[in-house]
Amino acid sequence: MAKSSIFVGLEIGTSKICVVVGDARSDGSVKILGVGQAPSRGVRKGEIVDFETAQTCLQDALVRAEDRSDVMIRSVWLAITGPHIVSCNNRGLVRMPDEQNEFTEDDLEEVKEQASNVAIPPDNIFLHRILRHYWVDGQERGTNPVGVLGRKLEAEYHIVHGIKSRVQNTVRGLRELSLTVEDVVFSPIAAAQMILNREAREQGALLMDIGGGTTDYAVYEDGAIKASGSVGVGGDHISSDLSIVLKIPLSRAEKLKVEHGSALPAEPGDIILLPSDTAFDGRSIEREVLNEVIRSRLGETFDLVRKRLLAQGARLDRLVGGIHLCGGTSQLRGIDQLAEEVFGLPVQRSSFTPMTGLTSNFENPQYATPIGLIRYAQRMQSERPGKGPFSWLTEKFSGLLSGSARMW
């Protein structure tokens, strides 16, 4: 049996809080031991605005996950998102002196340093600095270039950063529940661990996690992340739009969206009857309007993502792997066709890499992020042998919390 270790992934989403306890095996599969879920309150657009309320929900989810998995949860891997999180790519360059033509460990360090130290606004904090590629004399090279002959060594990093205080607040809030945060992971990066397999990443693929409050995206090209970010628009906006335009209560709008909503244009004349209840007089809704509201909202959101991707230098025409949708809103009817229209790329709803355990229940795109966190945790640990499993991260976070150290 493969060596295993247990990780807990926590996603505090706008619509639900989800805790997944998983056993990540070194063969790449994840065994789900238990899932705790609770509807989320006090969270808006992916960020906690009312911690006390959110804490109660979180407590619920945690207790459920503990019960089901029979694991005591002490530390979690936390997925965060929010429109404040932005990314960029930065390249470092080292030229060899004339008398030297072989790259050494020091050169590698220097180029990494150069590439990863990009100036970010003083209020921001680095979330991820992911090495994309090395180039030796302009030629791409995936592996470690130490010992390779050449004149010019370049490295490119994908850098994700967000507003420090917002990240810190969430981590601090979790600490109040005596939970240690092992690391914070930008949601789409976590989700991509689960949804985009190696092949898709090599070919180039776009992951869109359309959640309740945000639409997070990540683009992989040539096996490495190229662009990522978050737009502060999600499924909640659709419900809100419906509620405003159709003048129905929000809860009704939500129900209507789930039951009848579609992102495809509808034929005129089709009427949906909303039954009356104590607080609501019945109403008949034209399907055409309903769909148009949803369609215009989603279309706009996709268009925003598309513009941002182009601005970040992603080449959409080369994303052969297509678009992978996940997140609750990705279950909406017709959303794949709409995405295909906007991006001009084939769309797949998420398909999971192998899992064992209670998988069938969780092969739902809603769980991509928390499960992805477990995969991410596993990967991080395998990359850092030698040290104790969490020591480096604890260090990182004690610094983060005291606010004294930037994660350079």
Partner 1 sequence: MIEFKLEQLGAGSGADGANPVAVIGIGGAGAAVVDQLAVDGIKGAELASMNSDVRALESGLAPRKVQLGRMLTQGLGCGGDPELGEEAAAATMEEISGVVAGRKIVFLCVGLGGGVGSGAGPVVARAAREAGATVVVFASMPFGFEGRRRRQQAGEALEALRGHANALITFESDRMGEAVLPEKGIAGAFEVADRTMGQSIRAVGSLVNQTGLIGIGMEDLMDALRHADSRCLFGYGEAEGEGRAGRALELALESPMVDRGERLREARQVLVHICGGKSLTLFEIEGLMKDLGRHVGEGTQIRFGAAVDGGYGEAVSVTVISLAGTEEAVKEEVRESVCEEVREEGKAAVVAVESVRVEEVELPLAEEEGAKEVDAHAMVPMPHSGTITMSSPAVILGVAQPVAASVPVVEEVAELEEVLEEVEELEEVVKEPEEVEEVEEVVEEVEEAVVAEEEKEEVRVEELPEVAVVEELPAVIEEKPRKIDLREILKRQVAQSGGGERKLGGGGVDGDDDDEPVISLRVPEPARVTPIRPIPAGTPVVRGAPVVRGDAVGESEPAGGRGVKGVGVERTAAEQAQQNFDDHLTPGADVRGRFDKGEPTVEEGENLDIPTFLRKKHR
The nearer residue to partner 1, 69 or 243, going by C-beta atoms, is 243
232 binds partner 1 (CB under 8 A): yes
Angle between helices 164-176 and 391-402 (to 10 degrees): 110
- Per the document, the length of the chain is 408
Structure tokens at 242: 């419906």
Where do we find the tokens 């009857």? 273
Find the binding residues for partner 1 in span 340-399 (CB under 8 A).
none
119 binds partner 1 (CB under 8 A): yes
* Min dist. Cβ of residue 300 to partner 1 (A): 5
Pairwise CA distance, residues 191 & 217, whole Å: 10
Strands 180-186 and 75-80, bridge-based pairing? parallel
Segment interacting with partner 1, rule: CB under 8 A, options 19-27, 106-114, 120-128, 170-178? 120-128
Build a one-symbol-per-residue string for 270-309: x at contacts with partner 1 by CB under 8 A, - elsewhere: -------------------x--xx--xx-xx---x-----
Contacts of 350 (CB under 8 A, 6+ apart): 194, 195, 324, 325, 326, 330, 365, 368
Amino acid letter at 140? E
241 binds partner 1 (CB under 8 A): yes
The nearer residue to partner 1, 32 or 48, going by C-beta atoms, is 48
* Min dist. Cβ of residue 235 to partner 1 (A): 12
Segment interacting with partner 1, rule: CB under 8 A, options 23-31, 97-105, 183-191, 234-242? 234-242
Pairwise CA distance, residues 167 & 401, whole Å: 10
Find the binding residues for partner 1 in span 36-65 (CB under 8 A).
44-45, 49
- Burial (CB < 10 A; 0-12, 13-18, 19+), residue 4, is middle
Pairwise CA distance, residues 354 & 229, whole Å: 27
Pairwise CA distance, residues 311 & 227, whole Å: 10
Build a one-symbol-per-residue string for 73-102: x at contacts with partner 1 by CB under 8 A, - elsewhere: ----------x-------------------
* Min dist. Cβ of residue 305 to partner 1 (A): 11
* Phi, psi angle pair for 171, to nearest 5°: -65, -40
* Phi, psi angle pair for 356, to nearest 5°: -120, 175
Build a one-symbol-per-residue string for 302-321: x at contacts with partner 1 by CB under 8 A, - elsewhere: --x-----------------
The nearer residue to partner 1, 251 or 398, going by C-beta atoms, is 251
Question: Closest Cα to residue 163, out of 121, 208, 129, 102?
Answer: 121
* Min dist. Cβ of residue 88 to partner 1 (A): 10
Number of residues that bind partner 1 (CB under 8 A): 31
Angle between helices 51-69 and 164-176 (to 10 degrees): 60
236 binds partner 1 (CB under 8 A): yes
Segment interacting with partner 1, rule: CB under 8 A, options 54-62, 146-154, 219-227, 233-241? 233-241
Binding footprint of partner 1 on the chain (CB under 8 A): 44-45, 49, 83, 118-122, 231-233, 236-237, 239-241, 243-247, 250, 289, 292-293, 296-297, 299-300, 304
